[in-house]
Amino acid sequence: MSMNKIFLVAGTEDGRALAEILSERFDVTASVVSDYGRKLLTGESVKVNDRPLERDELEKILLAEKFSAVVDASHPYARNVSANAVDAARAAQIPYIRYERAETLPTYEKVFRVADYVEAADKARSLGKNIFLTTGSRTLKIFVDRLIDCNVTVRVLPTAEVLSQCEALGLTPKQIVAMQGPFSVALNVELFRHAAADVVVTKNSGQIGGTDTKLAAAEILRLPVVMIDRPKIFYPNTATTFDDVLKFLEGI
C-alpha cells in the first residue's frame, strides 16, 4: 500500500509537533476543531481541515481522497472524536493508530480520581467551597450548573469565543483566569492562592497538558485535587511516542 497520504486528527500541542514530523515523510492533512488549533499549524507544511467532521463525513473524505491511514492525536478527553475516527477508518478499510501522551500517575495522597465531569463536580463540592477548575471550557456548563452554591474560578484560553461562553454561563471577570499555558509550579501556586482555592479540579492530560505542575502546586499548598480519569476507549493500535507512530506507518 502506498503510504503517501495521512489524515491526522490534531488540535493539541503534541498533535502539531507530530504533524511537523510526519510531513517530512508523508502528505499530511491535519484536522482541527477550532481557530486556535488552526493557528497552531500555521506555517507547517500540512493541509488543514478546520471543519468539524462527523463519522460519515470523515469516511467519505478518507475514501474520496484516498488516504492511506488515520493517525488520531486528538486530546485524551475527546472521546467522540476518537470514536468517530476509529469507525471511519474501519469503514474506509485503512489502518488507524492512536497517539496518546503518557498519563501522569499521581503519588500525592490528596488526589481523588473520578470517572467523569459530573462525579468531579460532586466530589469537588464535598471537599470545599472555593473550587479552581483547570478542565477547559467545553464542559464548563456541567460544573456551573452543579456548583451553584460554590465559588468557582475557571482557567481557560484567552480567546473571544471562550470568554463569550464564560459570560453566557454567568461567570464574572473575577471568576475567570484567561491565560495560555504552560504554567510553572510557582505560577500555579500563586493562582491557587489568589483564588483562595479549597480544591483543584483537573484532567489527567499528562506532562504536556500541565498535570504535573498542577499536582506539585496543589501538594505545596496541601490542597485536595479531583482528577478526572481518561475515557475508556478501545483503540485498534496505540502509540505513546512519535517514533512508534512512524514505525507503524512505515510498516504498513
Same domain? 72 vs 157: no
CATH code of the domain covering residue 152:
3.40.50.150
The reply to whether 106 falls in a domain is no
CATH code of the domain covering residue 61:
3.40.50.720
- Give pLDDT, residue 1: 42
pLDDT over threshold 60, residue 36: no
| 46 vs 122, more confident | 122
**What's the full length of the chain, in residues?**
252
The reply to whether 96 falls in a domain is yes
pLDDT confidence tier of residue 16, bands split at 50, 70 and 90? confident
Same domain? 62 vs 140: no
Q: For the chain, what is the domain count?
A: 2
Same domain? 133 vs 224: yes
| 120 vs 1, more confident | 120
Instruction: Please return the burial class of 101, using the count of CB atoms within 10 Å of its CB with bins 0-12, 13-18 and 19+.
Output: buried
Residue burial 120-130, b: 16+ Cβ < 10 Å; e: rest: bbebbbebbeb
pTM: 0.77
Of 139, 134, 111, 124, nearest in space to 227 by CA: 111
Contact indicator for 70, 94 with CB cutoff of 8 Å: yes
Same domain? 195 vs 238: no
Same domain? 81 vs 122: no
Distances (CA, A) of 218 to 57, 61, 91, 193: 43, 45, 45, 10
In which domain, by residue range, is 124 found? 111-228
Q: Out of 139-143, 162-166, 180-184, pick the least confident.
A: 180-184
Q: Read off the pLDDT of each residue in 128-141 and give the average, rounded to a whole number.
A: 95
The reply to whether 218 falls in a domain is yes
The reply to whether 16 falls in a domain is yes
Same domain? 126 vs 209: yes
Same domain? 218 vs 118: yes
Q: Read off the pLDDT of each residue in 89-98 and give the average, rounded to a whole number.
A: 97
Same domain? 124 vs 86: no
pLDDT over threshold 90, residue 219: yes
C-alpha cell belonging to residue 61: 473524505
Same domain? 195 vs 115: yes
**Residues 6 or more apart whose Cβ sits within 8 Å of residue 8:** 15, 18, 19, 22, 28, 29, 30, 31, 46, 70, 71, 73
Euclidean distance between CA atoms 94 and 67, whole angstroms: 8
The reply to whether 105 falls in a domain is no
- Give pLDDT, residue 205: 77
Same domain? 193 vs 243: no
The reply to whether 43 falls in a domain is yes
pLDDT in tens, 100-116: 877 777 889 999 999 99
| 61 vs 206, more confident | 61
C-alpha cell belonging to residue 110: 490528596
**Residues 6 or more apart whose Cβ sits within 8 Å of residue 172:** none
| 240 vs 51, more confident | 240
pLDDT over threshold 90, residue 206: no
Same domain? 34 vs 91: yes
Q: Out of 73-77, 227-231, 234-238, pick the least confident.
A: 73-77
